[in-house]
């Protein structure tokens, strides 16, 4: 009996920690992101071209350089998801809702998620290693001695650059994957499926478009926020860099699924 | 310009008035906390007690934003930090001036080239920091800090990684900077030759206490046992 009284507080403490840790993490991450944006806004005059150099650099790295990988993946998944989906619906006798299904499944779910996976593995990890190593070698401290605001110089441009790149890449990915799937279907199932291309462009409602934009911007923003947050958590040991990278990747994945879940609920409501 | 009357944990307090264009040396035995002191005087650390007045205002009264702006006037250079590794030497030197918009890019480049040339490292500007020697990186960090036209330049053990020739050239540069450009320089070093030749004021720090000297001769002729021992040891070195 006494054993139970001993174990119970430990168990409840463990459960409490398990429950509170993600909440604190989300609060910390949100505060960190908002502070970074505040500093970025404070020092960067809007519409002033030369203030956006870091933002453009980040967008080139995250958006433009990732295009070949995204294009290849879009063609492959066009066969795996889009064509398979059309084939399954075709095998059960077809459906008038095929366009709707494609827009919701490929456009609103698979597209943003696959692009986010690429962004996490490519950009997210690069940001953590980049910032982590700079912190480790005193490069960031050196900039602080020169009155350079780190949130303004490093974090803000990465947050916005990743958010915009995620949106642009998802548009690119979704377009290619849809076209690939429909073209393969027209060859392998029926040439009539080519008509889906014109139907798809008109099937997107304003609500869906808004959800698509918000979801992708949030994905990109949170991926960069988690990466910068973990990069800046590196203190003095080189082993912290891989540790923080791994945590950033895991937490980014969890975060985007949470956002996706909330967005799904919001759309249902 | 600055009035320092502060204390850190490990030594007794120091009292010092700092004027424009002076070279002030913080010296003393190893582990006497010279660098902690230098960081405290440079408003990077907060003093445990006492006051440090900069430009007529107590350093603890500066808000976070003002404190960040104060960094532009109080440049701090240490070998513990590094240049940005992803850009070359020239870009590193130009960076703070571009960030704070202290002129057009051409003006900033020309100023950076002048500083680099005066420091004698013009052949290294296209290299990445990883391809440079430690002393060259340090000199570029000094140039980078001077791009902000600071009122006071703080240098942490500047001559440690330098050979005799570079060290002598750099010492002359510092003297010129102080006497001709009116920039105050506060240095932590054990280089007794530099103290003899260029220092205006000296603060001697040990584990137990500290001594401030308004004239370098007073320090060099001090009858204090600790200082005499220190001077004897550094002379042998």
Give the integer Cα–Cα distance in Å for A212 and A260: 11
Output DSSP code: residue B57: E
Residue A51 has pLDDT above 70, yes or no: no
Q: Which residues contact A15 (CB under 8 A, 6 or more apart)?
A: none
pLDDT in tens, A204-257: 888 889 999 999 999 999 999 999 999 999 998 999 999 999 999 999 999 999
**Structure confidence at residue A259 (pLDDT):** 93
Average pLDDT over residues A51-73: 77
Cβ-nearest to B148 among A146, A149, A153: A146
CB contact under 8 A, B68 and A139: no
- The set of long-range contacts for A90-99, using a CB threshold of 8 Å and a minimum separation of 24, is A90/A185, A90/A189, A90/A190, A98/A196, A99/A196, A99/A199, A99/A200, A99/A203
Place of tokens 């934009």: A213
CB contact under 8 A, A147 and B81: no
Residue B8 has pLDDT above 70, yes or no: no
Beta-carbon count within 10 A of B25 CB: 27
Place of tokens 């006494």: A2
**Structure confidence at residue B208 (pLDDT):** 77
Q: B207 CA to chain A: closest CA distance, Å?
A: 27
Which among B153, B216, B215, B150 is positioned nearest to B188, based on CA atoms? B153
CA A182 from chain center: how many Å?
26
Q: For residue B97, what is the nearest residue in chain A, using CA coordinates?
A: A146
Cβ-nearest to A138 among B72, B81, B96: B81
CB contact under 8 A, A134 and B85: yes
Give the integer Cα–Cα distance in Å for B55 and A41: 30
Q: A124 CA to chain B: closest CA distance, Å?
A: 18
Output DSSP code: residue B200: S
Q: For residue B138, what is the nearest residue in chain A, using CA coordinates?
A: A142
**Structure confidence at residue B10 (pLDDT):** 44
Give the integer Cα–Cα distance in Å for B83 and B136: 11
Choose, out of B96, B102, B108, B128, the residue to mutate when testing the contact with A (most A CBs < 10 Å): B96
Cβ-nearest to A153 among B44, B75, B99: B99
Torsion angle of the four alpha carbons A147, A148, A152, A153, in this order, in degrees rounded to the nearest 10: 180
pLDDT in tens, B87-127: 999 999 999 999 888 999 999 999 999 999 999 887 778 88
**Structure confidence at residue A45 (pLDDT):** 61
**Structure confidence at residue B3 (pLDDT):** 58
Structure-block tokens of residue B131: 């391809």
**Structure confidence at residue A47 (pLDDT):** 47
- B120 CB burial (10 A radius; 0-12, 13-18, 19+): middle
Give the integer Cα–Cα distance in Å for B111 and B108: 5
Higher pLDDT, A65 or A112: A112
Domain ranges of chain A: 48-268
Higher pLDDT, A134 or B228: A134
Structure-block tokens of residue B30: 């190893």
**Structure confidence at residue B11 (pLDDT):** 47
> ipTM higher than 0.90?
no
The listed range with the strongest mean pLDDT (B65-69, B189-193, B232-236) is B189-193
Element (DSSP H or E) covering residue B221: none
Choose, out of A126, A146, A150, A157, the residue to mutate when testing the contact with B (most B CBs < 10 Å): A146
- The set of long-range contacts for A24-27, using a CB threshold of 8 Å and a minimum separation of 24, is A25/A251, A26/A255
Give the integer Cα–Cα distance in Å for B50 and B164: 39
CB contact under 8 A, A139 and B71: no
Measured CB to CB, residues of chain B less than 8 Å from chain A are 44, 68-72, 75-77, 80-85, 95-96, 99-100, 141, 144-145, 148
CB contact under 8 A, A145 and B76: yes
Place of tokens 């398979």: A84
Read off the pTM.
0.84
Output DSSP code: residue A105: I
CB contact under 8 A, A145 and B99: no
Structure-block tokens of residue B40: 């405290």
Annotate B6-49 with DSSP letters as a single string: EE-SSS--EEEEE-TT-EEEEEESTTS-HHHHHHHHTTSSPPSE
CB contact under 8 A, A147 and B69: yes
Percent of chain B with pLDDT over 70: 92
Element (DSSP H or E) covering residue B199: none
3-state secondary structure of A4: helix
């Amino acid at each position: 009996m006494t054993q139970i009284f001993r174990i119970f507080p430990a168990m409840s403490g463990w459960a409490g920690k398990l429950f509170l840790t993600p909440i604190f993490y989300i609060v910390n991450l949100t505060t960190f992101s908002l502070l970074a944006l505040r500093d970025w806004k404070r020092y960067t005059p809007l519409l002033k071209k030369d203030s956006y150099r870091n933002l453009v650099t980040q967008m080139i790295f995250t958006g433009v350089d990732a295009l070949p990988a995204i294009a290849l993946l879009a063609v492959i998944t066009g066969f795996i998801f889009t064509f398979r989906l059309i084939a399954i619906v075709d095998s059960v006798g077809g459906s008038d809702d095929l366009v709707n299904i494609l827009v919701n499944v490929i456009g609103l779910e698979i597209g943003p998620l696959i692009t986010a996976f690429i962004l996490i593995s490519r950009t997210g990890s690069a940001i953590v290693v980049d910032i982590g190593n700079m912190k480790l070698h005193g490069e960031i401290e050196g900039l602080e001695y020169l009155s350079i605001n780190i949130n303004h110089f490093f974090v803000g441009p990465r947050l916005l650059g990743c958010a915009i790149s995620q949106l642009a890449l998802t548009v690119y990915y979704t377009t290619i994957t849809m076209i690939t799937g429909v073209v393969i279907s027209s060859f392998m199932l029926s040439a009539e499926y080519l008509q889906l291309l014109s139907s798809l462009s008109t099937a997107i409602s304003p609500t869906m478009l808004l959800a698509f934009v918000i979801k992708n911007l949030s994905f990109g923003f949170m991926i960069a926020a988690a990466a910068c947050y973990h990069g800046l958590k590196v203190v003095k040991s080189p082993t912290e860099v891989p540790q923080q990278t791994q945590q950033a990747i895991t937490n980014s994945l969890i975060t985007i699924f949470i956002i996706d879940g909330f967005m799904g609920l919001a759309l249902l409501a | 310009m600055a009035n320092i009357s502060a204390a850190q944990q490990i030594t007794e307090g120091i009292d010092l008035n700092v004027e424009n264009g002076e070279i002030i040396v913080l010296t003393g035995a190893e582990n006497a906390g010279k660098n902690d002191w230098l960081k405290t005087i440079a408003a990077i650390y907060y003093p445990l007690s006492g006051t440090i007045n900069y430009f007529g205002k107590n350093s603890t009264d500066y808000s976070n934003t003002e404190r960040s702006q104060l960094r532009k006037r109080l440049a701090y250079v240490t070998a513990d930090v590094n240049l940005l590794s992803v850009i070359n030497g020239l870009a590193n030197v130009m960076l703070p001036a571009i960030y704070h918009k202290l002129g057009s890019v051409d003006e900033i480049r020309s100023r950076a080239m002048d500083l680099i040339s005066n420091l004698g490292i013009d052949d290294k500007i296209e290299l990445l920091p990883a391809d440079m020697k430690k002393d060259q990186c340090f000199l570029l960090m000094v140039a980078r800090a001077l791009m902000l036209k600071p009122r006071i330049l703080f240098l942490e053990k500047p001559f440690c990684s330098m050979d005799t020739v570079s060290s002598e050239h750099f010492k002359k540069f510092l003297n010129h900077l102080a006497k001709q450009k009116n920039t105050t320089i506060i240095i932590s070093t054990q280089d007794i030759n530099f103290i003899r030749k260029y220092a205006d004021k000296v603060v001697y720090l040990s584990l137990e206490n500290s001594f401030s000297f308004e004239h370098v001769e007073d320090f060099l002729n001090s009858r204090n046992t600790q200082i005499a021992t220190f001077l004897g040891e550094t002379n042998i070195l």
